[in-house]
Homo-oligomer: A and B are copies of this chain.
Amino acid sequence: MARFMDVHNGFVGVTAEQLREAHRRDLEAEAAEGVHFEHAWLDPQAGKVFCLSSGPSKEAVLRVHEKAGHPTEEIYELPVEVD
C-alpha cells in the first residue's frame, strides 16, 4: 500500500456540506479499488481540495474519484513523510 495526495482545482465557493457529500461518494466507491480516502481539506477561496489516501496505485485513486464524479489527474505518490 502506498500513500497519495491528490489536488483538485475549481472548487471555489464550495461549502463544508458539499465537501462532505463529495467525500461520502469517495468512501462509497473506494472499497472496490482497495483505496481509502483518509482526509480532505478545502480552501474555498482558491478553489483547492487536497485529498490524502492510501491504496495500491495512482490509477486506483483516480478510478475512485472518477466513479465519485470528481476526477483529477494531479495525484502524487508519497513514499516519504515526517511529523
> In terms of DSSP, what is the predominant structure of the interface of chain A?
strand
Measured CA separation A77–B39 after assembly (Å): 15
Task: Tell me whether B5 and A81 are in contact (CB under 8 A).
Answer: no
Task: Tell me whether B41 and A5 are in contact (CB under 8 A).
Answer: yes
Chain A stretch 1-20: residues in CB contact (< 8 A) with chain B: 3, 5, 14-16, 19-20
Known contacts A5-B50, A50-B5, A76-B48, A83 near B42 by CB under 8 Å: no
Using Cβ atoms and an 8 Å threshold, which residues of chain B touch A83?
38-40
Which among B14, B45, B82 is the interface contact of A77 at CB below 8 angstroms?
Answer: B45
| Nearest 4 A/B pairs, CB to CB | A43-B76, A42-B80, A41-B78, A39-B83
